Amino acid sequence: MFIQLNNLTVHINRLPMLTIDQMGLPPSGIYAILGPSGCGKSSLLTLLSGLHDPALSYSGDLIEHTHTPVRYAMVWQKPTVFPCSIFDNLWVAYRSTLTAQPNRLHPSNWSRFIKRQHRGSLYRALETVGLDQELGHGWAERHADTLSGGQKQRLCIAMGLLKQADVLLLDEPTSSLDPIATQKIEETLRALSKKHLIVLVTHSIGQAKRLADLATVICHCTERNLSYACETGLASDVLNRPKTLSCKAFIEAETG
Amino acid sequence: MKPVLLYLYIGLTIVLISALWPESFQLNHTPIALWVSTAIVTLCATFAALLPAYLSAAVVTGFYHAPLFQRCALLILYLLAGMPSIIIGVAGFITFSYGLGLGWSMLSAILTLVFLLAPTLATAFIQLLNQAHSDHYALARGLDMSRTYFLFIWLPTLKKEALVDTLLLGWSRALGDTAAIMLTCGAVMATPTSLLDPVRLINYHIYLLAMEVPGGFTEAQSIALLQIIMIALLFIPRWLLQKREPCLSN
């Protein structure tokens, strides 16, 4: 396994919120995390990404079986891009990888010359998420706010790829999108999952069945006021033939 | 954007040239001497107020996690933002001109104006940062962008127009409160060569007029102090309501 979670407890404001006995994330593929609202799915993603959140802490083991630190990129639920050109959106993600330059914060590194040198890399990221054909020749100068919701989400995924992320963490990326945009994102994710690990938090059982290789269902115990990973394994097994009653109840409630 | 920058650049160049070589340009005893003094005082005050205002706004909007400092910043902000400029002028006069002995100097005027402008600028920055916090900060965090980089490099790049608007807002307020230099005051006769050269703020001027009450200087000062306390008391309920807002929204 690539990333291993053993006896992990996620705390919000020092109160235990979610426990996971064991969860192993492979180096590539799609790993779906499902569960009711407020059970701590997004907090788990934030914890995995290493983003600083003063309210969030954990106990237990979170082990990365790699020689170099794992790089994460997060794509949020709301399709949000920076209010500037598509080129600048991609560039701000890409610049973090330009470690060879002595001072990447220096204004000279923002010059048109440097940017032009890396234009090809940025375009390749757009190709990977299938935006190159849709945006056409004037993609670089086009304002990112003019994109549709689905295109914005794919631009966010492209930004994550430019960060050279090993793991893409997606927090309900299609919840506010129409079926056509959702389909395009799913195609993009399926293509990316051959090389990257994608951790997908979703409410849609159908989406998890269509996409995921592995899945974890999180359930909430009202008596202990604590969420827990009630079932983990191959997505086809967990979602089609749940073993525990709580997991079965959640899947039946979601699928109607 | 570019015409505004060009305008500021030309203005600053004229100010610098006239301040450095006043004799060469025969500017003394002309309205240009008054204009140069006003420009130096207002621009210095605006730029000096920018950073504290931006930092306070960053603390208030939760970019920096410092609950105690956040409460203090909110209290000071609401009190100062609600104060009429004359009250801040009086406080500035007492503290800088009288207390620190800076007199009717440009330095005391600049320091007073900083206190006058900081809340105005901070309020504008809070609106800007609130919007950025909800929309763009999560995205920036997802890309591993540091808070400092986001606040001081990336956000100013994204929001150039809003920042220039805020800058002009602060400068225009500063100009409004130094109009007396151009209209009434004979204190500026020459283009300034030092920060201790004389100028006079409009609120200093009003303070002096307000002191001319029957009963003398002591009675006038006690009335002024009472007024300050009353205004401060008026803003406490407003501050308490603002403090409760986050709980209500939850």
Closest A-chain CA to B132:
A82
Angle at B67 between CA B64 and CA B70, to 5 degrees: 70
Closest A-chain CA to B147:
A52
Banded model confidence at residue A215, pLDDT cuts 50, 70, 90: very high
pLDDT of residue B20: 66
pLDDT of residue A213: 92
**Do the chains contact at B139 and A83, CB–CB below 8 Å?**
no
Orientation of helix A119-128 relative to helix A86-94, angle to 10°: 100
pLDDT above 90: residue A33: yes
pLDDT in tens, A195-208: 889 999 988 888 99
**Average model confidence (pLDDT) across chain A:** 84
Low-confidence ranges of chain B (pLDDT < 70): 1-5, 7-8, 14-31, 82, 178-191, 200-203, 205, 210-211, 216, 238-239, 242-250
pLDDT of residue B247: 41
ipTM for the complex shown: 0.75
pLDDT in tens, A143-199: 888 998 888 988 988 888 888 888 999 988 888 788 888 888 888 888 888 888 999
Provide CB contacts within 8 A for A89, sequence distance 6+. A81, A82, A144, A155, A159
- Give the integer Cα–Cα distance in Å for B106 and B93: 12
- Collect all residues from B whose CB is shorter than 8 A from any CB in A: 65, 135-136, 138-139, 141-145, 149, 153-154, 157-158
- The CB density around residue B198, as the number of other CB atoms within 10 Å, is 19
Report residue B138 as tokens.
């999560």
**Do the chains contact at A81 and B153, CB–CB below 8 Å?**
no
A251/B contact by beta carbon, under 8 A: no
A55/B contact by beta carbon, under 8 A: no
- Give the integer Cα–Cα distance in Å for A33 and A13: 23
Residue A71: phi and psi, rounded to 5, are -100, 130
Q: Average of pLDDT values for A203-216?
A: 90
Which residues on chain B are in Cβ contact (under 8 Å) with A105?
149, 153
pLDDT of residue B27: 61
pLDDT in tens, A122-147: 888 888 888 888 888 888 888 888 99
| Residue of A74, A77, A152, A168 best to disrupt the B interface, most CBs of B under 10 A | A74
Report residue A191 as tokens.
């293509």
> Rounded to a whole number, what is the distance in Å from the CA of A187 to chain B's nearest CA?
22
| Residue of A43, A48, A80 best to disrupt the B interface, most CBs of B under 10 A | A80
> Rounded to a whole number, what is the distance in Å from the CA of B127 to chain A's nearest CA?
16
| Residue of B133, B143, B147 best to disrupt the A interface, most CBs of A under 10 A | B143
**Do the chains contact at A76 and B143, CB–CB below 8 Å?**
no
Quick one: DSSP state of residue A238? H
Instruction: Answer whether B142's CB lies under 8 Å from A78's CB.
Output: no
pLDDT above 80: residue A80: yes
Provide CB contacts within 8 A for A202, sequence distance 6+. A32, A33, A34, A172, A174, A175, A208
Size of interface A-B (CB pairs under 8 A): 42
Closest B-chain CA to A49:
B142
**Do the chains contact at A92 and B143, CB–CB below 8 Å?**
yes
A contact residues 164-193, partner B, Cβ 8 Å cutoff: none
DSSP-based three-state secondary structure for A9: strand
Token look-up 């079986």 returns: A65
Query: Long-range pairs for A243-250 at CB < 8 Å and ≥24 separation?
Result: A244/A219, A246/A219, A247/A217, A247/A219, A250/A34, A250/A35, A250/A36, A250/A217, A250/A219
| DSSP for B126-158, written as a single string | HHHHHHHHHHTHHHHHHTT--HHHIIIIIHHHH
Of B223, B212, B201, B250, the closest CA to residue B96 belongs to B201
> Rounded to a whole number, what is the distance in Å from the CA of B144 to chain A's nearest CA?
8
pTM of the model: 0.73
- Give the integer Cα–Cα distance in Å for B71 and A5: 39
Candidates A75, A83, A84; nearest CB to B142: A75
**Do the chains contact at B138 and A93, CB–CB below 8 Å?**
no
**Do the chains contact at B143 and A93, CB–CB below 8 Å?**
yes
Token look-up 């809003």 returns: B162
Which residues on chain A are in Cβ contact (under 8 Å) with B145?
92, 96
pLDDT of residue B166: 84
pLDDT of residue A22: 87
- Give the integer Cα–Cα distance in Å for B142 and A89: 13
